[in-house]
Amino acid sequence: MRYRTPLFAVLFFSLFLSVGWAQGETDLKAVQESQGRVLADQVNQLNLLRQEVQELKGFIEETKHASEEEIGKNAKLVRDFDLRITGMEERLSLDEMQLKEFLSEVEKSEKIGKQEYALYKKALMLVNTQHYKEAAPLFDQLLKKYPKSPLADNSQYWKGEILFALKSFPEAVLEFQKVVKSFPKSTKVPGAVLKQGECFFELKQYEDAKAFFQKVIKEFAASEEAIQAREWLQKVEAILVKPPAATEPPPKPSK
């Protein structure tokens, strides 16, 4: 899957950093108010993107029930739409995740030191510009220097995301597991378990992927990740129920 850069997340973080951390609670509230309009616009864009995804999915479902002749004519169009949906869903997922994280960090801000916050933001900005290999050491540095930081769980999670983006799926599974083990009460845990399932899906280890998606649905039923897990589970089950491709019997030896 292609990892897309969430431009509006970069805008949010750039605006937030430009105000200056040392201005205190009053300025923080002012930042929140001044960004209210921008935030509302971005949420509206996300909603429009969701609607477009659903419309495209509806088109594909209708096409599946068309006649064979019509399916043949529309095959290329369906493939194009399917690829477009995949890209849009990836962008939507990442944008929503970083939007949620942005709002969460505003709430955590009073507990975060200036230096650790600046280090985290620098690392995240590198992720947003797809400089993954440069970002990873900064998250490592934050975890080593500030192991009790409110941003430690986020930093560990992003180490997994970086490896996922680099298609190092086995290593990503291990990093996401560290989120689950080291930060069991973190809001990042459902996302980490979901991502482990996605890693196994990319590795074509569908039974393992299925187990992780089921875990998200069972243990985090009320979460947004559970909704995504159900969609992934449908994909996995559709693959698992497909009969194996028929193979021709080996030729009989000539006499």
Q: What is the pLDDT of residue 219?
A: 97
Q: Which residues contact 151 (CB under 8 A, 6 or more apart)?
A: 105, 108, 112, 116, 117, 120, 142
pLDDT tens sequence across 49-103 = 666 666 666 666 665 555 555 655 565 555 555 555 555 555 555 555 655 565 4
Place of tokens 């680099």: 166
CATH topology (fold) of 112-242: 1.25.40
Q: Parse the chain into domains and list their residue ranges.
A: 1-111, 112-242
Higher pLDDT, 30 or 151: 151
Which pTM does this prediction carry? 0.61
